[in-house]
Structure 1
Amino acid sequence: METTMTGVQRRKKILEMLGQSSTPLSGGALGRAVGVSRQVVVQDIALLRTEGHPVLATARGYVLEVPHQTERLFKMCHTTEQTREELNTIVDLGGEVLDVMVNHRIYGKVSAPLNIRSRRDVEAFVENIRTGRSTPLLNVTSGYHFHHVAADQEEILDEIEAALREKGFLADFLSYEQEEVEK
């Protein structure tokens, strides 16, 4: 005789699976593992988030957010075609691109979470841009944009900064910008 998990047991199992996985888990895969539909998993994830669990949705599935030791804001400037190289430079050196942000003179600060941790995430992002009807935020500000980048050590962020500068992707902050975009 098969026993059915309660919602509490199911959510506990989902958290356990996410905590043990080194890769994102799709809603469908989580649903199959706990015997419910993907839609029920989506609801469970929402409940887990309201309880304060750091579950992130990525293009490849759900992950538990792993807190990093440190993060830094970088101001970037490049073309859409250079996006892959910029992102790969960051992840190859051990960084995670947390978000993208532009400071538009009319619309103000516009940002979106990215949570790009690997070359696979970079390829998924670039492919979504290529096949979608949208363009990267950097296009509304002539290539200028900001990224919060997280890493386990300041030294990693220093290496990332040096590599981005060497490739010509870093732009200098204007006197008011760093404080303005951090708000």
Structure 2
Amino acid sequence: MVLDKETRLYEIEKALRESAEPISGDSLAKTFSVSRQVIVQDISLLRAKNIPIHSTNRGYYMDAPKGFRRTFKSHHRDDEITKELNLIVDLGAIVEDVYVEHRIYGKIAATLNVQSRKDVKHFMDDIYHSVSTPLNNITNGYHFHTVFAKDEETLNEVEAALAEAGFLVPEEPFKEEA
């Protein structure tokens, strides 16, 4: 499976987060069709984003954070990204990622790990000083965030705040086609 760097970083982090045991660099290299050296560089990039990846002689692993995750579907304009992220972090939650579901390309994701207003500012500075546009632009403002919090109550507060701000897109129940 050949992935672009950002998608590969997201998938490596996800694999480590979901694994109960360490994953060797060779195994990651084989999974993502890259060299072991590329995996070492990717792990360094993830650590630079404050992702707690540990190394042992058996491979890489992450401590499983104790808490809860929920995925929220959002919709807003680009000039409302800061407000959305600040709503979440101000309630004590972490925005782990952003992804879109594209009808042709499928899921396109990026790791954020935004936990504070300072992180939001850095993220927005990166967007403003880049030739790239926010990921949600390819789906007309629709996107998803995986949000982590220490308790369900915080996630409920995040959901209420996003709904009150008009950002939350209610999930439609599955309808069987006739």
TM-score by length of 1: 0.63
SS at match of 1:169: coil
Selected match of 1:56 from 39, 42, 47 = 47
Selected match of 2:86 from 73, 85, 88 = 88
Tell me which moved more, 63-72 or 149-158: 63-72
Instruction: State the partner residue of 1:46.
Output: 40
> Which structure would you say has the larger Rg?
1
For 1:140 and 1:105, locate their aligned partners in 2 and report how far apart those are by CA, in whole Å.
10
Instruction: State the partner residue of 2:16.
Output: none
Instruction: State the partner residue of 2:162.
Output: 164
**How far apart are 1:174 and its partner, in Å?**
3.5
**How far apart are 1:172 and its partner, in Å?**
1.6
Mapping 1:1-183, distance limit 5 Å: 46=40, 56-58=47-49, 62-64=50-52, 67-175=65-173
Please tell me the residue identity of whatever aligns with 1:77. H
SS at match of 2:47: strand
Change (3 A) 1:104 1:152: same
Structure 1 residues not aligned, in runs of 5+: 1-42, 177-183
SS at match of 2:171: coil
Change (3 A) 1:130 1:145: same
Q: Deviations over 1:94-129 (max 9, x none)?
A: 110000010011111101110000000000000100
Q: CA RMSD in A?
A: 2.2
Structure 2 residues not aligned, in runs of 5+: 1-36, 54-62
SS at match of 1:106: coil
For 2:105 and 2:51, locate their aligned partners in 1 and report how far apart those are by CA, in whole Å.
32
For 1:56 and 1:150, locate their aligned partners in 2 and report how far apart those are by CA, in whole Å.
18
Please tell me the residue identity of whatever aligns with 1:46. V
Runs of 4+ in 1 over 3 A off after TM superposition: none
Aligned 8 A contact 1:68 1:150 in 2 = no
Please tell me the residue identity of whatever aligns with 1:162. A
Change (3 A) 1:159 1:78: same
Residues matched between the structures, number: 125
Aligned 8 A contact 1:94 1:156 in 2 = yes
